[in-house]
Amino acid sequence: MYNLIFVDDENRVLEVIKTMIDWDKMGIRVIGWCNNALSALELMINEQPDILVTDIKMPVMDGLELISRAKEMYPDLECLVISGHDEFELARSAIKRGVRGYLLKPCAKEELESSIRECVESIKRSQYGMHYNFEQRRQNIESLCDKLMSIKFSQSPEDETLVYQIATQYNYFSLLREATLMAVVQHEQMVQSLNAIVKGLSKIQGSDELIRWTVDAFREINKYTGISDPVVAKMVEFVHENYDMSSLTLQYVADNVIHLTARYIGGRFFKTMNMKFSDYLLQVRMEKAIEFLRETGDSNADDIANRIGLGNNVQYFYRLFRQYTGMTLKEYRDKMIRGELN
């Protein structure tokens, strides 16, 4: 199976293409239906695509810039463009970036299938010479991102020197853009000013400008919270907003929120918070249970367990509460009523 990413800012187009082709029959696994270039680049950090199919005219970053960045990450990536613009200059720019096909919307099923088959044949011809270790590259990006997280960014010129030293010392300079992008994407929804930094991505030229962009990005991330690691900050925020989910686990956060391995983000969480993710989730849930008990004065275990995501096992919640407070719900409520608790 060959991995394919499809990018178009029109959801209607994505839905049509999804059902237009029998992907399994073609030996294609679609690993992403993305409605913007940024989401596609984030996906490429953790998943290696073989084929990229993209629109051109999109907000924040257009398809041609996406192709350029994707080719920096994966030089052998096969690219197709599907555009609603029949412009010679766009087609020429796409070809210069190594695009195998330039299709106009609405494209026929046969035309798209034929272009994808050409990409597959090209991949087969070049596979014998491919020695690219994707897993090692992903680990290097995560490692570099880790090292950047360890910097306490300020407004000092020394910030740029530190970034340069880390990137060159570990021979990661070619991965600096992707490592920084990983951090930006993970925090982009929480720190709106990062949008401007992302928009400037296409204008970056040379190593000095890339270092400045990296420093600016991490300075903005550090402003958001006292938790210097944006991955951990996002995990903490998600727990406080979703503690009532019965399915909330480290694996769930890894798969659906952070999009990195559970082992990796669990290690980062412990390093930053000095406790396991499960212990932190338990702490938040128990403090919320106490808060609800104080608000209502109702010691009904079923109601409180439901409100903190443990309604599927009330006896377990009852036991956890007693372990956490040293009291049963009724004992806690009675002491609270008598004013014996702070």
Q: Where among 196, 224, 252 does a domain terminate?
A: 224
The pLDDT, as a whole number, for residue 304 is 87
pLDDT of residue 30: 94
User: Within this chain, do residues 309 and 194 fall inside the same structural domain, yes or no?
Assistant: no
* pLDDT range class, residue 4, cuts 50, 70, 90: very high
- CATH code for the domain of 250: 1.10.10.60
> Above 60 in pLDDT, residue 129?
no
For the cut 50, the answer to whether the pLDDT of residue 131 exceeds it is: no
Structural domains of the chain, count: 3
Question: Which of residues 98, 129, 160 is at a domain's end?
Answer: 129
Listed residues 209, 224, 239: the one ending a domain: 224
Instruction: Please say if the pLDDT value at position 128 is more than 70.
Output: no
18 and 102 share one domain: yes
One domain for residues 47 and 118: yes
Instruction: Indicate if 122 and 186 belong to the same structural domain.
Output: no
Same domain for 330 and 236: yes
Among 10-24, 153-167, 245-259, the minimum mean pLDDT is found in: 153-167
- CA-CA distances (angstroms) from residue 186 to 45, 65, 68, 247, 327? 12, 20, 22, 22, 40
Q: Quick check: 208 pLDDT over 80? A: no
pLDDT value at 117 more than 50: yes
Residues 257 and 309 both lie in one domain:
yes
Report the range out of 93-97, 220-224, 334-338 with the highest average pLDDT: 334-338
98-112, 139-153, 199-213, 263-277: range with lowest mean pLDDT: 199-213
Q: Based on the fold, state whether residues 66 and 148 are members of the same structural domain.
A: no
DSSP states along 275-305: S-HHHHHHHHHHHHHHHHHHHH----HHHHH
Could you identify the residue written with the tokens 């257009």?
62
As to burial, measured by CB atoms within 10 angstroms (0-12 exposed, 13-18 middle, 19+ buried), residue 146 is middle
* Residue 213 confidence class, pLDDT cut points 50, 70, 90: confident
Distance of CA 204 to the CA centre of its chain: 22
pLDDT of residue 297: 67
Q: Mind listing the pLDDT tens digit for each residue in 327-341?
A: 888 888 888 777 776
- Across all residues in the chain, what is the average pLDDT? 81
Amino acid occupying residue 157? P
Same domain, 13 and 121: yes
Is pLDDT above 60 for 228? yes
Provide the CATH number for the domain around residue 25.
3.40.50.2300
Do 17 and 112 share a domain, yes or no?
Answer: yes
Arithmetic mean of pLDDT, 18-44: 91
**Same structural domain for residues 304 and 214?**
no
* Residue 120 scores a pLDDT above 60: yes
Q: 258: domain range?
A: 227-342
- What's the CA gap between 325 and 123, in Å, rounded? 61
Q: What is the pLDDT of residue 106?
A: 80
Give SS3 for 78: strand
Mean pLDDT of 181-205: 61
Q: How confident is the model at residue 133 (pLDDT cuts 50, 70, 90)?
A: low
Condensed to tens digits (0 to 9), the pLDDT of residues 296-307 reads 766 677 888 888
The answer on 125 and 21 residing in a single domain is: yes
Identify whether residues 247 and 172 lie together within a single domain.
no
